[in-house]
Amino acid sequence: MDQNNKQFKPYIPAEKITPEFTVTSIIMGVLLAIIFGAANAYLGLRVGMTVSASIPAAVIAMGVIRVIMKKNSILESNLVQTIGSAGESLAAGAIFTLPTLFLWAAEGKMEKPGLLSITLIALLGGLLGVFFMVPLRNALIVKEHGILPYPEGTACAEVLLAGEEGGANASTVFAGMGFAAAFKFVIDGIKAVPGEISLKIKGFSGEIGTQIYPAVMSVGYICGPRIASYMFSGGVLSWLVLIPLIVLFGENIVMYPSATQTIGEIYAASGASGIWSSYIRYIGAGALAAGGIISLIKSLPLIVRTFRGALKNMKGASAADLNRTTTDINIKIVLIAIAILTLAVWLVPAIPVNLIGAIIIVIFGFFFATVSSRMVGLVGSSNNPVSGMAIATLLVATLILKFTGSVGAQGMSAAIAIGSIICIVAAISGDTSQDLKTGYLLGATPKKQQIGEIIGVCAAALAIGGTLYLLDAAWGFGSEELAAPQATLMKMIVEGVMNAELPWNLVIIGALIAVVVEILGIPVLPFAIGIYLPVHLNACIMVGGLVRLVFDKMKKSEEEKTAITSDGILFCSGMIAGEGLIGIVLALLAVFGLDRALDISGLLNLPAWASTLGSILIFALIILSLLKFSIWKKRKKQ
């Protein structure tokens, strides 16, 4: 293995110096970190999943730097995506946990978290994630080159190497942003058509339907038919099996958490969605918690091996081996920075964590940074069990805090702060390792990339608090528009340990469903997410998966199919960013009370059948736009 590493030559040799850490790369990277961070925060709060920003950020960088600025600097483009992707990862870690504090504030259990508090939690978690990854680079990226594939990092390097098509690829991303923005504005801005289609069968209390949003469909296309089908299956189980069973057998029963209404009264007032809100989401929470823990247990042998190897290799390369492509941030600076950040977690008043909590963060943080970096190297960032790590941390942290007398609102906010920092550490470590793999293949300077990650983390941390406040003010977390599924799950876990408030029967049923699914060999987490989320959202994701399946089954050469699929992924990445950005704009309008002025649904006053037909037509146009920029796209002959 070492011999192979000595023979490896990056695209830009170590002795060659090209523009890399420039004003252009920093400004572009910071802008993309904020844009993709906000867009992914919105997406994650809606569907409980985020998507990697590395490839779309790389494509945009190539388009601007190569095509518009006429510069030939692949390392400059790489630094842009390094900084830009940090925003998406920090948002992913933050939205899984921090909205819990807003949910408690809405219930009157504590005050709403301040902007300073959110910013500091995100900043400290992000910086710890970067610094924990620095001593792991030599062990995981260099010494295991050829063993750990790092799929997103390798794919991003391939995109950057395909610089000749940078302009065409960038235009595909921007087209996706424009189309999605237009569709989102029609659906949720002027409200010309409903954003959801439903089908109910008379005499049957189940319900099926689909949303028609471009970002949700794009998630299905990017994840592929396999993951989409698991999610949809979970939705079918909850909405077409469990809900009808609950209504059939419990129509006249009053059951927790609804202490005043019978199940029949809830169904009469709110339909299947009322049963989902009152009962199914607890079953889904149990399935999600069990799925996260199962994923973590299955990874334990790998975790132990990785952790042991990382500790052995913390010294990194010898001084004789150091050159531009092997230079990291000085290990002494890294250790001092980790010590200062740990003290800040403990001593800064805006962060509700005591000394015990700070120690938990350091121990679990480095442990899960190692786990996350190794996991994304094997299975990619999309399959990194960050939520499972957060669940494990929350369970342990909440128990320790409870036994040490930190209970009530203080103990719950401390548990979420600890869980948030660990979640962000795991997400950022995984992103940093993918970016360092891209840089390793291209011949980037690791030290400059690590500084770039720090800049991206700082930019995204400053933006994430405002984004969360804006979305909460517009719609509120836990609402139909922003279900915040992961944060709601974390809330249930902390409350369940602290106050014994969970309806444990429902949670245990969900956990046992997850165990059965695991025994059947089906991936637990996507199936559990499907149980937890509304079936309309899962169905929209399934449509995207089916489009991808059709593309994969086309009778074309492998090169053509790869090109079509890649263009589809770029267009869908653009659609996710475009809808997320328009979602932020609409949230601003809602905060200032201007959203009603745009609403034309009352003027149109369409009958139900016409509204449904309009929604179907818009959904068809969304799918046709994807076809236009993938399968029907004109390509230059090589």
- Tell me: pLDDT of 30 over 90: yes
The candidate with the shortest Cα–Cα distance to 39, out of 164, 134, 173, is 173
Q: Report residue 49's pLDDT band, with 50, 70 and 90 as the boundaries.
A: low
- Tell me: pLDDT of 314 over 70: no
Place of tokens 């399959």: 383
- Tell me: pLDDT of 28 over 80: yes
Question: Looking at residue 208, what DSSP letter applies?
Answer: E
> What share of the chain in percent tops pLDDT 70?
89
The candidate with the shortest Cα–Cα distance to 158, out of 562, 622, 599, is 562
Predicted pLDDT of residue 210: 93
Determine the average pLDDT of the residues in 350-376: 85
Q: Cα(442)–Cα(20) distance, rounded to whole angstroms?
A: 12
Decide: 291 and 388 in contact? Cβ < 8 Å: yes
Q: Cα(172)–Cα(162) distance, rounded to whole angstroms?
A: 15
Decide: 468 and 41 in contact? Cβ < 8 Å: yes
Q: Report residue 4's pLDDT band, with 50, 70 and 90 as the boundaries.
A: very low
Decide: 233 and 223 in contact? Cβ < 8 Å: no
Predicted pLDDT of residue 149: 78
Predicted pLDDT of residue 296: 67
Determine the average pLDDT of the residues in 36-42: 85
H helix count then E strand count, the chain: 28, 2
Q: For 231, phi and psi rounded to 5 degrees?
A: -65, -45
What HEC string does 212-250 produce? CCHHHHHHHHHHCHHHHHHHHHHHHHHHHHHHHHHHHHH
Residue type, 580: G
Residue, of 113 and 604, whose pLDDT is higher: 113
* Residues contacting 535, CB < 8 A, separation 6+: 207, 208, 209, 232, 235, 236, 238, 239, 240
Q: Cα(254)–Cα(242) distance, rounded to whole angstroms?
A: 17
Q: Report residue 118's pLDDT band, with 50, 70 and 90 as the boundaries.
A: very high
Predicted pLDDT of residue 324: 85
Predicted pLDDT of residue 561: 85
- Tell me: pLDDT of 321 over 80: no
Q: For 350, phi and psi rounded to 5 degrees?
A: -70, -15
Q: Cα(344)–Cα(339) distance, rounded to whole angstroms?
A: 9
pLDDT per residue as tens digits for the range 372-396: 887 777 656 655 657 667 777 887 8
Q: Cα(113)–Cα(133) distance, rounded to whole angstroms?
A: 29
Determine the average pLDDT of the residues in 349-366: 89
Peptide bond between residue 446 and the one before it cis (omega within 30 degrees of 0): no
Residue type, 270: S
- Tell me: pLDDT of 164 over 50: no
Q: Report residue 99's pLDDT band, with 50, 70 and 90 as the boundaries.
A: very high
- Tell me: pLDDT of 313 over 80: no
Q: How far is CA 160 from CA 39, 281, 434, 487, 613, in A?
A: 23, 42, 14, 35, 42
Predicted pLDDT of residue 637: 46
User: In 384-484, which residue ranges form alpha helices assigned H by DSSP?
Assistant: 386-403, 408-442, 446-474
Predicted pLDDT of residue 460: 93
State the chain's mean pLDDT as an integer.
84
Determine the average pLDDT of the residues in 69-88: 87
> What share of the chain in percent tops pLDDT 90?
31
Query: Cα-Cα-Cα-Cα dihedral of 602, 606, 612, 614, to 10°?
Result: -90
Predicted pLDDT of residue 379: 55
Question: Looking at residue 324, what DSSP letter applies?
Answer: G
* Residues contacting 340, CB < 8 A, separation 6+: none
* Residues contacting 620, CB < 8 A, separation 6+: none
Determine the average pLDDT of the residues in 127-139: 89
H or E, element range at 365: helix 355-379
Residue 419 three-state SS: helix
Predicted pLDDT of residue 2: 43
Predicted pLDDT of residue 47: 66
Q: Report residue 168's pLDDT band, with 50, 70 and 90 as the boundaries.
A: low
Determine the average pLDDT of the residues in 474-478: 86
Q: For 209, phi and psi rounded to 5 degrees?
A: 175, -170
Predicted pLDDT of residue 520: 93
Least reliable range by pLDDT among 88-92, 382-386, 421-425, 445-449: 382-386
Place of tokens 């943080």: 365
> What pTM does this model have?
0.74
The candidate with the shortest Cα–Cα distance to 152, out of 441, 505, 401, is 441
Tokens representing residue 618 in the block? 């818009």
Predicted pLDDT of residue 208: 92
- Tell me: pLDDT of 267 over 70: yes
Residue, of 291 and 452, whose pLDDT is higher: 452
Tokens representing residue 82 in the block? 């390094």
Q: Report residue 638's pLDDT band, with 50, 70 and 90 as the boundaries.
A: very low
Q: Cα(464)–Cα(20) distance, rounded to whole angstroms?
A: 27
Q: Cα(465)–Cα(117) distance, rounded to whole angstroms?
A: 9
Residue, of 305 and 508, whose pLDDT is higher: 508
Place of tokens 């990277």: 29
Residue, of 579 and 510, whose pLDDT is higher: 510
Predicted pLDDT of residue 336: 93
- Tell me: pLDDT of 512 over 90: yes
N-terminal to C-terminal alpha carbon distance within the chain? 36
Tokens representing residue 332 in the block? 């002494």
Least reliable range by pLDDT among 208-212, 342-346, 570-574: 570-574
Q: Cα(25)–Cα(29) distance, rounded to whole angstroms?
A: 6
Q: Report residue 415's pLDDT band, with 50, 70 and 90 as the boundaries.
A: very high
